[in-house]
Structure 1
Amino acid sequence: MKSVLVVDDDPSIRALIRLYLESAGYAVIEAGDGKRAMAALDGQPVDLVILDIFMPEMDGLEVLQVLRGHCQTCRVMAISGGSAKIGMDLLGHATIFGADAVLEKPFGEVTLLDKVTALIGPAAD
């Protein structure tokens, strides 16, 4: 079974992504901020990290930079809904920093699962 680390400071977003991923058969680990994400990665390898850009403590771009030095084989999908509000393309910046894919919030189950499957394949190969 493939595993996904979901990193978002909004518990409702994490819960929704967990629901979508677990219904498709993926194992899900959650972290509420960047520091917790890095701690979670020390304990276990994952196939994919779904990473929010706007978070307290360590934002998603900071996590992405550290992550690329820590786990070069895991795939990363950056997510954000705040870029338009501040007039910056932070998802574009995420690809520069090494994200394999980006997804703008809000998104639906089909869109998320299509992106996840494209990045790491179905839950069970």
Structure 2
Amino acid sequence: MACILVIDDNPEFRDILRVHLEANGHRTVLAGNGEQGIALLERGGIDMVLTDILMPQRDGVEVLREAKRRWPGLPVIAISGGGWIGANELLGMAERLGADNILQKPVRRDDLLKAVDDALKANLKKQA
């Protein structure tokens, strides 16, 4: 299964994602902000990124842009609950910037796993 980098500044939400992904056979690497996430991407071995949009120390939009620029084949799923800007606006922006899928918080387990599977399958088709 895939090694998935989960980037979210909320440790409880990050842990929920980890539990769901690992229960489905994936390995996870966790980061609390975009700066940590990019550093982990640079080490290699990551098959997919799940990133929150609103975070301190490099937000998810910056992570998405940099990931798509430096690792163009890497699937990225953007997640947001909104904040001072509505979630729909943030997720729409992420989609326009190249996110392979978008999810709105709170994320249901089945929706998460379907989005991950769909993005991984689409990436395999691109590589073939």
Query: Sequence identity, in percent?
Result: 40
Whole-Å Cα distance in 2 between the matches of residues 46 and 74 of structure 1?
A: 8
Whole-Å Cα distance in 1 between the matches of residues 45 and 97 of structure 2?
A: 21
Matched residue count: 120
Larger relative contact order (CA 8 Å, sep ≥ 6): 1
| Counterpart in the other structure of 2:85 | 86
- What amino acid maps onto 2:62 in structure 1? E
- What amino acid maps onto 1:96 in structure 2? R
1:114 matched to 2:114 = yes
Give the alignment's Cα RMSD to 1 decimal: 1.3
- The TM-score with structure 1 as length reference comes to 0.90
CA shift, 1:97, in A, is: 1.0
CA shift, 1:111, in A, is: 1.1
Mapping for residues 1-125 of structure 1, pairs under 5 Å: 1-82=1-82, 85-87=84-86, 89-121=89-121
| Counterpart in the other structure of 2:125 | none
* CA deviation profile, 1:68-114 (whole Å, cap 9, x unmatched): 1111111000000015x534601000011110110000011111111
Whole-Å Cα distance in 2 between the matches of residues 53 and 86 of structure 1?
A: 11
SS at match of 1:99: coil
Misfit runs of 4+, over 3 Å: none
- What amino acid maps onto 1:105 in structure 2? K
- What amino acid maps onto 1:25 in structure 2? G
SS at match of 1:110: helix
- What amino acid maps onto 1:30 in structure 2? L
SS at match of 1:79: strand
